[in-house]
Chain A
Amino acid sequence: MPNFFDLNVHAYPETDIPVDDMFRIAKRYGYAGIAITNHDDTEKGKEVIPPLISNFIFRGVEIRTKSVSELKRKIKLHYGEVSLLAVHGGAEEINEAALKDSRVDLLAHPCGEKGEGELSHVLVRYAAENGVAIDFNLNAIIQSRRSDRARILWKMRQNLKLVRKYKAPAILTSNAQSKYDLRAPREMIALASLFGMKKEEAEHALSAIPEGVLEKKWKKETEVEII
């Protein structure tokens, strides 16, 4: 069985579930690693990035802003400090700025948490070029019902088509806010089949691609100036 990863999990201090609890449940569900990506603009502020507890947990941060200039400033601030730099997507200009920047590892829920944003073919092409992973947020499918869910599934289907066409890295995440929101890998694969993802594809999106994202496999090496 491959190693499964969930790269978008929120824990203490953003929510009241401690990292230990998440760790225990995720391990029980059969994950090889989770990345704690708390939003950087929460009130409890400074200690967003969790301390390193074990090799099972990767430290990350999810940048949430409304303006592009602030996004760039924050990317500069956090780059190199964390092993996973995610951007809270949704608005089109934020999506564009994040996908154009090769320092970003992951664009979380590019269609917003309720499916209000959109991705175009140009943006997905940027993602493929810069090695920014596009995230399919399965929590949106779990939490919504009826017309909301239909809209979200339709958008995910569209995104999947673009991702297949341009071969951009796509991953499945749970965006869990509590231990009840986590789902086991097999369940995630079953949920991904709702919007047309094949089983092998989904397995890949849960194991090999997240691993590659953590290892910065698709990043071009930065040129070193020789003086």
Chain B
Amino acid sequence: MPRIYITSVFVGDQQKALAFYTDVLGFQKKMEIPLGEHAWLTVVSKEDPDGPQLLLEPDQHPAVGPYKEALAADGIPCASFAVDDLAAEHERLLGLGVRFTQDPLDMGTVKMAVLDDTFGNLIQLVELVE
């Protein structure tokens, strides 16, 4: 049976993106393998260091720009991460200067919010309601 071990977001500057995804969002670096101009660069959750990784993937391909622009314009996130307490996380990230395109919204079984990673991606944060 296949398992999901990695997913990715397209970023322009991998090192700047690493800083945002670790220092601001709170992930930790898992792998950094130099590959010429770029690197195989992944982060993981501190709570689950052996869990699925997020690849910070270079966005040089010409199709990536229009794809990201169109999704961002309509507010559509390209990745979704789970948090235990969305209200607290929203507050914490606002304090760090993060911009939300959607404040926490209670949808019954989930609460969700959407933030701008400043690398052209919108990121959804989800709290599963028990």
**Binding between chains A and B:** no
Q: Chain A interface (Cβ within 8 Å of chain B)?
A: none
